[in-house]
Structure 1
Amino acid sequence: MKRWLTLAAGAAALTLATAGCAGSGGSGTASTASNTGTVTVWLMSGSAPTSLTDQSNKEFEDTHPGVKVKYEVQQWNGIQQKLTTALAGDNPPDVVEIGNTQTPAFASQDVLADLSGSVSDFNGSQWLAGLKASGEYDGKTYGVPFYAANREVIYRKDMFEQAGITATPTSTAEWLDAIAKLKAKFGGDPDFQSLYLPGQDWYALLSFIWDNGGDIAQAGGKSFKATLGSAGSKAGIDFYKQLVDVSGTKAPKDADEATPQQASVYGGGKVAMFVGAPYEVATAAKTDASLTGKSGAFPIPGRTAGQTAPVFLGGSNLAIPANSKNQSAAKDYVKLLSGAKYQTQLAAAGYVPGTSTDVSALDKDPLGSVMAKASKNGRAVPASPKWGDVESGQNPLKDMLTAYLTGKKTIDQATADADAALDKLIG
């Protein structure tokens, strides 16, 4: 899961979940492929568990006599260039896993097959709403949601209890009240942080921007217009600053959640809350094993009590290269993985399913169940073919946050500069 939560969509960050046959499960997929040949499948390291792929590959071959699955696990490091080369060639793999912010870029290059006519075959009615747009480009569908992950608020249950907090916050006002109570109880310790919040955690920022009615950018045909200077976006940025100011966070204002790794900071025992992913508790527990039992989670609160804030969904899509020599069999393979049978297995492994609304398999995990609940109000970044340039380069959102939080720029100056930079990148 690390890949899509650490850096998310186009650059490198965390992985998380999926689900065959228009909601009826994966078994018994009828063969529409030729009765001979090979289906080459590229999935990414850390995605589907080996137990799942062993079973699904065998099932596919059993239901498609004469067709063999050539299954290859790819590494995230260097995958952008490897995919670029393979998809432009005459003999690409037949099924590929692509980061959800990379999908529009490849679709715009005409190297992915148009799957618009097959959405219903891929359990389309069950797709996670926040991921649907990430597989679309110019009004057509090129990617099938495979799995997703999103952030939540990880907290110390024992500290909440000692501070007299009897219920987890369900609104931003209650969240601020909890911070005040934690500071009142533990603030005498100069190392204590009620909330660890780095200055450049723009993934967390998106929740506050969206919750206030703002957005990064608005689409206009194939182009985008940055909207960080809108009233809603500014309100979300202001709330981010309020959290930084009142929480006592000692996180750097010029770095993100990976510098230093926030899970390691939480593992030090002086942090009551941070915005992160379930897997980060296990990372923290390497420093202090007791944190596994002491940690809980709640969805990022929204302004309205009882309504969670929208969350950024990072994850992957399944796609079929336009030059695939066996597209019929490839569609059957995607149909199998996007069905309820294998989506449920992915959820049981701790992922948020991309093509199934059934997240009951995550209920056994207190942290995973909260993530799944929050994912229903999830969104993706603008589906621009050039979004990867935002994440991999001089990210205007990070620059904006640091400039505003440090007082180097007013919010009007910071957002105007960020909008101008984004317009150059994705406009």
Structure 2
Amino acid sequence: MKGWRGLAVGATAVAVAVAGCGTSSDSGSGDSGDPKTLTVWLMDGSAPTTLTDALNKEFQDSHAGVTVKYEVQKWNGIQEKLTTALTSNNPPDVIELGNTQTSKFAAEETLTDLSGDVSDLNGDQWLSGLKDSLTWDGKQYGVPFYAANRTVIYRTDLFQAAGITAAPTSRDEWVAAIEKLKAANAADPEFQALYLPGQSWYTLLSFIWDEGGDVAKQQGSGWAGALDTPQAKAGVEFYKKLVDTSGTKAPKDADEATPQQMEVFGTGKVGMMIGLPWELAGAVKANPDLKDKTGAFPIPSKTAGKTAPVFLGGSNLAIPQGSKNPDLAKEYLKLLSGKKYQDMLAEGGSVPGTSTDTAKLATNPIGKALAESAPNGKVTPTTPSWAAVEAGQNPLKDMLTAYLTGAKPLDQAAADANASLSKTLAG
């Protein structure tokens, strides 16, 4: 939850008060004119009111007798609330789920199988990484809603002063840019060319995937860790190279939230951070002087000219198994996943989940960086057990801290983390 929740960007959702009619137990298109209520739960911060107002009005106008009962939910405690609602006799008809939550509810058989509806729900436009998060036991249990991913956010003025004329397009160029920033700011002992916390494991995923490795592999019906492979360890080694060369003063035993890296970037003493759009917005809010001095570029690959794979955090839309209006719900998802409303999401700063057209997103530097890297996005293992990895003593964080601090050599840190990860995934 924590990892992907922070990815909702550029929009603030407010509940739309729509008077409800009596809920019908009949399913169908709603064109009969019989009064029906379609209950939709979206999450706080996911969609701007301009989008939801227009969407709900258009849907109601085209479905006689149907009222959309739109409710905005808070992220805090949502998993428990969904668990209760999905097993009740009167669940909502459309729900938003984090893409790391979907497999849990699909495995519990509380979501409607939409495998036969993919083509009607704009399936040919789905981001491939998000499609993977919807798949459980070979079936599709929802529609991608939106996503965001990390990019390298940098100070354009500091790059210019250091003689860096273009954004790096490879790891080697990235490291070279770090060295130039350090040299140009050597007189300032507080300067950090790149702020990189020791436990920023979502960033680590990019390096592992770029090396051709993964955190876990499916074995039969289960999953086992893959952190002890040469490819995964190569990703960890590059992470350490960045830490060692960047001049970062970030703690090695904490992630980007402790302290909030946007606050550190906002001090004006940092050349780069690997972050999300909302973190840049937070830094600019704290230090308005940065407004016209920042840019972004995709996390570079070790292969020149390519972008590294990125973790796609975001949300999916699903229909509860107990919905009393499943056909109406499918029509609602079809409308929301169409180009009109996906473009509105992009204009708000989110990577559209069901549109390969990112032109609306690429209208500013950070949106352009998101648009360039999102097609190469991936998700964490689609297993209900993954939630315990993030919520518990995260083995990837432990591995990074142990190796970066010198408490363990790489082979031992990777082996210990892999054993812990495999145990959690099996449990």
- Structure 1-normalised TM-score? 0.93
**Any conservation in 2 of the 1:198–1:251 contact (CA below 8 Å)?**
yes
Deviations, residues 202-234 of structure 1 (Å, cap 9, x unaligned): 000000000001101011243111101111100
Identity %: 62
Q: CA deviation at 1:14?
A: 2.1
Name 1:90's counterpart in structure 2: 89
Structure 1: state its 5+ residue gaps.
Answer: 19-30
Q: Secondary structure at the match of 2:147?
A: strand
Superposition deviation, residue 425 in structure 1: 1.3
Aligned to 2:14: none
Q: Indicate yes or no: 2:337 matched with 1:338.
A: yes
Instruction: Map residues 309-328 of structure 1 onto 2, 5 A cutoff.
Output: 309-328=308-327
**Residues 347 and 353, structure 1, Cα contact 8 Å, conserved in 2:** yes
8 Å CA contact 1:234, 1:411 repeated in 2: yes
CA contact (8 A) 2:148 2:351 kept: yes
Equivalent residues of 1:138, 1:221 under 8 A apart: no
The one-letter amino acid paired with 1:365 is N
CA distance in 1, matches of 2:241, 2:141: 40
Distance 1:93 1:358 in 2: 30
Partner of 1:209: 208
Structure 2 residue 12 is matched with structure 1 residue 15 = no
- Separation (CA, whole Å) in 2 of partners of 1:119 and 1:306: 34
Question: What CA deviation, in whole Å up to 9, does each residue of 1:62-101 have, x standing for no partner?
Answer: 1110111111000000100000000011110000000000
Q: Secondary structure at the match of 1:61?
A: helix
Within the alignment, does 1:150 sit opposite 2:149 as a pair? yes
Aligned pair in 2 of structure 1 residues 221, 96: CA closer, same or farther (>3 Å)?
Answer: farther
Give the counterpart letter for 1:14 in structure 2.
Answer: L
Paired residues of 2:99 and 2:314 also in contact (CA < 8 A): yes
Report what 1:100 is aligned to.
99
Match among 32, 35, 39 for residue 29 of structure 2: 32
- Mapping 1:89-168, distance limit 5 Å: 89-168=88-167
Q: Aligned with 2:360: secondary structure? A: helix
Aligned residues of 2:9 and 2:277 also touching (Cα < 8 A) = no
**Is the 8 Å Cα contact of residues 7 and 149 (structure 2) preserved in structure 1?**
no
Give per-residue Cα distances to partners, 1:280-329, cap 9 Å, x unaligned: 22211223212110001110000011000000000000000001111010
Pair 1:382–1:125, CA change in 2 (3 A): same
State yes or no: 1:230 paired with 2:229. Answer: yes
Taking the aligned partners of 2:363 and 2:143, their CA distance within structure 1 comes to 27
SS of the residue 1:256 aligns to:
coil
Matches within 5 A, 1:192-341: 192-341=191-340
| TM alignment of 1:376-395, pairs within 5 A | 376-395=375-394
Paired position in structure 2 for 1:54? 53
Matched residue SS, 2:314: strand
State the match for 2:175 in structure 1: 176
The alpha carbon displacement at 1:16 in A equals 4.5
1:136/1:146 CA distance change after superposition, 3 Å: same
Q: Secondary structure at the residue paired with 1:285?
A: helix
Instruction: Give the deviation of 1:363 after TM superposition.
Output: 2.2
| SS in structure 1 at match of 2:331 | helix
Matched-pair contact (CA < 8 Å) for 1:17–1:354: no
Q: Which runs of 4+ in 1 moved over 4 A?
A: none
- What residue is the counterpart of 1:42 in the other structure? 41
CA contact (8 A) 2:398 2:417 kept: yes
Cα–Cα, structure 1 residues 375 and 359, in superposed 2: closer, same or farther, change >3 Å?
same
Q: Report the Cα distance in structure 2 between the residues aligned to 1:333 and 1:285, rounded to whole angstroms.
A: 37
Which stretches in structure 2 are left out of the alignment for 5+ residues? 12-27
Look up the equivalent residue of 1:32 and give its one-letter code. Answer: S
The Cα of 1:416 is off from its aligned counterpart by 0.9
The CA distance in 2 between the partners of 1:112 and 1:33, in whole Å, is 21
SS of the equivalent of 1:89 reads: coil
Q: How many residues align?
A: 408
Is the deviation greater in 116-125 or in 184-193?
A: 184-193
Q: What secondary structure, in the 3-state scheme, does the structure 2 residue paired with 1:237 have?
A: helix
Query: Amino acid of the residue matched to residue 216 of structure 2?
Result: A
Paired with 2:143 and 2:87, the residues of 1 have a C-alpha distance of 20
Which protein, 1 or 2, shows the higher relative CO under an 8 Å CA cutoff with sep ≥ 6? 1
Note the 1:57-68 alignment, pairs <5 A.
57-68=56-67
Contact 1:310 1:379 in 2 (8 A): yes
